[in-house]
């Protein structure tokens, strides 16, 4: 099939960006979206033009590196799917596709479709862990965890840190991302010890980075390639409020 692409091109973070039009010719429905872009890039290189820069790595939906807004939707039209797992069979011959980078105040564009998501790393660095040293820990089966709790922890821990939730949110909020880590660790007995401190430090960092607040649009849940639920944001709020009493 043949497609028309409008792709966001931007030299660097200080330059102004714009959409540019490209043709994607002879695309197989079995290609992944990124393989389609590979084809376009190969042609651009041969024509002596600069290829489109985009982040990608594992191409199996788990590393969280790929990050494109396709026709206005982070990661594109297929639910619970990263761009790299989106296949061209979901498009039709003759379609026009708009491709943009993640857009959020906390994610400055580095080049074309590549943005700087280090703010998410700094939220984890602020407290998204259990402060355990290597060695000297109890036997793994000494810590029993009810299966339902372990399952909720795992549901939350599935977050791949891609930032689609931020890109989808009208407020550019990272609440779903932060909530996922807070919930994962707060559900486990070994994580409870620091739960109050953790939620305060992570929330504080989140605000410092320029992420907005949650006003219940639920766009994050719709965009999340791992199907992480907004109910975790309620959990984050609950943990945060509990922590206020504890810290006082």
Partner 1 sequence: MILNGKVPEGPINEKWDRHRQHLKLIAPANRRKFTIIVVGTGLAGASAAATLGELGYNVEAFCYQDSARRAHSIAAQGGINAAKNYPNDGDSIYRLFYDTIKGGDFRSREANVYRLAQVSVNIIDQCVAQGVPFARDYAGYLDNRSFGGAQLSRTFYARGQTGQQLLLGAYQALSRQVHLGKVRLHPRTEMLDLVVIDGEAKGIVVRDLVSGKIEAYSGDAVCLCTGGYGNVFYLSTNAMGCNVTATYRAYKKGAFFANPCFTQIHPTCIPVSGDYQSKLTLMSESLRNDGRIWVPLKKADNRHPNDIPEEERDYYLERKYPSFGNLAPRDIASRAAKEVCDEGRGVGPGGLGVYLDFADAINRLGESVIRQRYGNLFEMYERITGEDAYKQPMRIYPAVHYTMGGLWVDYNIESNLPGLFVLGEANFSDHGANRLGASALMQGLADGYFIIPYTIADYLARTNVKRPSIEHSEFKRSQEEVQNNIKRLLSIKGRKTVNEFHRELGRIMWDHVGMARSEASLKDALKMIPEIREEFWKNVIVPGSGEELNQEIEKAGRVADFLEFAELMAIDALHRNESCGCHFRVEYQMPDGEAKRDDDNYCYVAAWQYRGPEKAPELHKEPLTFENVKLAIRSYK
List the interface residues with partner 1, window 51-80 (CB under 8 A): 51, 53, 55-65, 78, 80
Q: Which helix (H) or strand (E) holds 37?
A: helix 33-46
Closest CA to 238 of 209, 206, 195: 195
Does position 216 bind partner 1 by CB under 8 A?
A: no
Half-sphere exposure at residue 230, Cβ-oriented, CA atoms within 13 angstroms = 14
Closest CA to 176 of 197, 195, 156: 156
Which residue lies nearer to partner 1 by CB, 63 or 73?
63
For CA atoms 209, 217, 234, 176, the dihedral sign is negative
CB-CB contact of 176 with 226 (8 Å): no
Does position 193 bind partner 1 by CB under 8 A?
A: no
26-38 burial, b if ≥16 CB within 10 A, otherwise e?
A: ebeeebbbbebbb
Joined together, the tokens standing for residue 82 give: 């990263």
Number of residues that bind partner 1 (CB under 8 A): 77
Which residue lies nearer to partner 1 by CB, 107 or 214?
107
CB-CB contact of 212 with 165 (8 Å): no
Does position 16 bind partner 1 by CB under 8 A?
A: no
Binding residue for partner 1, selected from 1, 39, 73, 222, defined by CB under 8 A: 39
Binding residue for partner 1, selected from 161, 167, 179, 206, defined by CB under 8 A: 161
In whole angstroms, the minimum distance from the beta carbon of 125 to partner 1 comes to 4
Does position 14 bind partner 1 by CB under 8 A?
A: no
Does position 20 bind partner 1 by CB under 8 A?
A: no
Rg over CA atoms, the chain: 20
Does position 247 bind partner 1 by CB under 8 A?
A: no
Binding residue for partner 1, selected from 154, 207, 241, 244, defined by CB under 8 A: 154
Which residue lies nearer to partner 1 by CB, 162 or 230?
162
Contacts of residue 188, Cβ cutoff 8 Å, sequence gap at least 6: 145, 149, 150, 153
Binding residue for partner 1, selected from 14, 94, 138, 248, defined by CB under 8 A: 138
In whole angstroms, the minimum distance from the beta carbon of 34 to partner 1 comes to 7
List the interface residues with partner 1, window 86-105 (CB under 8 A): 86-87, 89
Beta bridge partners of 20: 7
In whole angstroms, the minimum distance from the beta carbon of 108 to partner 1 comes to 11
Per CB under 8 A, the segment of 17-25, 93-101, 153-161, 210-218 that binds partner 1 is 153-161
Which residue lies nearer to partner 1 by CB, 53 or 73?
53
């Amino acid at each position: 099939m043949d497609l028309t692409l409008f792709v966001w091109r931007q030299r660097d973070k200080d330059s102004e960006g714009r959409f540019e039009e490209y043709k994607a010719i002879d695309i197989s429905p079995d290609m992944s979206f990124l393989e389609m872009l590979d084809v376009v890039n190969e042609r651009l290189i041969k024509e002596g033009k600069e290829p489109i820069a985009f982040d990608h790595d594992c191409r199996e939906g788990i590393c969280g590196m790929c990050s494109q807004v396709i026709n206005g939707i982070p990661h594109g039209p297929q639910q619970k799917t990263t761009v790299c797992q989106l296949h061209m069979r979901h498009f039709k011959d003759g379609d026009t596709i708009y491709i943009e980078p993640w857009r959020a105040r906390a994610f400055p564009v580095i080049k074309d479709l590549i943005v700087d998501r280090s703010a998410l790393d700094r939220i984890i660095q602020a407290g998204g862990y259990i402060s355990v040293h290597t060695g000297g820990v109890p036997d793994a089966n000494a810590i029993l965890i009810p299966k339902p709790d372990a399952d909720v922890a795992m549901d939350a821990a599935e977050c791949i840190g891609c930032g689609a939730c931020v890109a989808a949110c009208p407020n550019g909020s990272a609440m779903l991302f932060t909530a996922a880590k807070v919930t994962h660790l707060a559900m486990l007995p070994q994580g409870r010890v620091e739960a109050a401190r953790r939620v305060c430090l992570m929330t504080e960092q989140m605000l410092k980075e320029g992420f907005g607040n949650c006003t219940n649009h639920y766009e994050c849940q719709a965009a999340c390639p791992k199907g992480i639920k907004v109910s975790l944001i309620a959990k984050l709020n609950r943990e945060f409020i509990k922590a206020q009493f504890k810290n006082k």
